[in-house]
Amino acid sequence: MPEGPLLAEPIRPLTEREFLNISRLAYEKFGLQLKPEKYELVTARLGKKVRAAGCRSFQEYYQRVVDDRTGEALIELIDALATNFTNFLREPAHFEFLLKEVLPECAARDRLAIWSTACSTGEEPYSIAFSVLDALAGGARPQLRILATDISSKALAEARRGVYPAAKLESLPPGWRRAFFLRGDGKWNGWYRVKPEIARQIEFRRINLIEPGSDLELFRVIFCRNVMIYFDKPTQQKLVGRLAAHLEPGGYLFIGHSESLTGIEHPLAYVRPTIYRRGER
């Protein structure tokens, strides 16, 4: 009969105290607010981790995470709780603005740096690359540099692979599949991989947005979409301040359409809903 931690006796239900401990850890380490209505989500997503670790309770698992000096257990907890829903060309108004407003301003530049702060499984940074390369095809263009970051190691691993099922590509403009992807065959029939020469223009890196300090450069555009909805106001305040500090003069910040900077002090000028700009000086 098969043995192993996954077949151990049922774990004890998540208690209120255990939920509070996990919520506090998630908030302190990566700014995620787990409100009481997230109880079932935490139970479902962490339950598998608890069983896989051979623990008999959420408290025992929590203590293992806290005691792990390598930080790997914390990363696994974050991966389990993080929401990584995304699509190619999600919220298309931002890509239209990028092509119609930002690119013409950068026509004479040698370099264009863009930061996708919560890149998830890669659809956002690849959409940025495809849009820019398609718009500037056949003409002189600045060297494109895209930094794609996320807190989830699991999501970043998928993003680096750049492999997607055909259904994911159905919303792309005609010609993009042929221009930017390699079609799989054999066991990979129905799957597509981003061409290596496109993928090389993107650097994927794990970054926790709420941790202070970084050696990042200045960017012309920063995408930080559908991230702040998980944070409280103080955390949003700190995040926007850090993002603004990494915008070059005249640079743009894009946030999600369900987000707003209302009630947050920041040095950015309102351009249109979900788009803000740093002053030229």
The catalytic residue positions are: 45, 150
Rounded to whole angstroms, the Cα distance separating 274 from 257 reads: 6
- Which is it for strands 143-150 and 111-116: parallel, antiparallel or unpaired? parallel
Of the candidates 122, 119, 144, 125, the residue with the CA atom closest to the CA atom of residue 133: 144
DSSP-based three-state secondary structure for 270: strand
Q: Are 215 and 245 in contact (CB under 8 A)?
A: no
Here the tokens at position 218 are: 């200045």
122 φψ region: left (φ > 0), alpha (ψ -120 to 50), beta (else): left
Residue 223's contacts (CB-CB under 8 Å, 6 or more residues apart) are 94, 114, 115, 116, 117, 124, 128, 254
Q: Are 208 and 151 in contact (CB under 8 A)?
A: yes
Q: Are 177 and 122 in contact (CB under 8 A)?
A: no
Specify the amino acid at residue 104.
Answer: P
Q: Are 269 and 259 in contact (CB under 8 A)?
A: no
DSSP structural state of residue 115: E
Burial 195-219 (b: 16+ CB within 10 A, else e): eeebbebbebeebebbeeeeeeeeb
